[in-house]
């Protein structure tokens, strides 16, 4: 309505000295309204635990309100929570990546970062708890039973020797392994094994019984 009145005034008398000031005041008023709308939208989406939508509002208005400290602070916080939720979701969707020590480190950092903001998001609270439990599972050694014939020398490649045994229980973290069995005069046998949380008690037979 104010804009319409200003246009009418400009059409009646373009030289009216007050027009520039009125234009500036109107532009500022429109920007203030847009700022208030954007802030309210971010807050409403955040309160509803809809951080992706809140992030969209923040991203869409980031440039326009780049000089508004309050907006930038809110947008940065929204972005942080959104990124934590997105990163947690990706990690929870690919649990086997946690067999890598580098991914375990990232998961631990993510859990620590989420602890400071989880009170603002029920989704992040659930994700953090699930990720913490999953990391615990993937960093807890499993008891694995190795079966052989006392003649085959068994080792776990890149891990260590089991020896020439009939049966032996060893501990291994969840991961992908190759059990190798050697016996003089026999073909070396290699047994690839994928160990995952819950595999404690798994029995693995490694017997070199094919003569050369």
Rg (CA), the chain: 32
Task: Tell me: pLDDT of 211 over 70.
Answer: yes
Determine the pLDDT at residue 134: 97
> Helices (DSSP H) in 48-184: which residue ranges?
51-61, 69-93, 101-115, 122-138
- Residue 102 clears pLDDT 90, i.e. is over it: yes
* Predicted TM-score of the model (pTM): 0.79
Share of the chain above pLDDT 90, in %: 80
pLDDT greater than 60 at residue 27: yes
Higher pLDDT, residue 121 or 18: 121
Q: When comparing pLDDT for 22 and 82, which is higher?
A: 82
The answer for residues whose C-beta is within 8 angstroms of residue 205's C-beta and 6 or more apart is 147, 148, 191
- The CA-atom distances, in angstroms, between 209 and each of 6, 146, 197, 203 are 96, 16, 31, 18
Question: Within 13 Å and on the Cβ side, how many CA atoms surround 153?
Answer: 8
């Amino acid at each position: 309505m104010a804009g319409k009145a200003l246009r009418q005034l400009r059409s009646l008398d373009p030289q009216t000295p007050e027009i520039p000031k009125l234009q500036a005041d109107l532009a500022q008023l429109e920007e203030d309204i847009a700022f208030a709308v954007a802030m309210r939208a971010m807050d409403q989406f955040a309160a509803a635990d809809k951080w992706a939508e809140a992030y969209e509002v923040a991203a869409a208005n980031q440039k326009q309100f780049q000089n508004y400290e309050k907006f930038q602070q809110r947008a940065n916080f929204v972005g942080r929570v959104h990124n934590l939720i997105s990163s947690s979701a990706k990690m929870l969707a690919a649990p086997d990546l946690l067999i890598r020590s580098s991914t375990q480190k990232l998961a631990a950092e993510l859990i620590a970062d989420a602890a400071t903001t989880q009170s603002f998001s029920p989704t992040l609270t659930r994700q953090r708890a699930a990720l913490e439990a999953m990391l615990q599972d993937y960093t807890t050694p499993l008891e694995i039973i190795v079966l052989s014939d006392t003649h085959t020398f068994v080792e776990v490649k890149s891990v260590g020797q089991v020896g020439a045994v009939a049966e032996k229980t060893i501990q291994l973290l969840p991961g992908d392994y190759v059990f190798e069995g050697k016996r003089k005069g026999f073909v070396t046998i290699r047994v690839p094994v994928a160990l995952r949380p819950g595999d404690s008690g798994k029995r693995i037979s490694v017997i070199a019984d094919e003569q050369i």
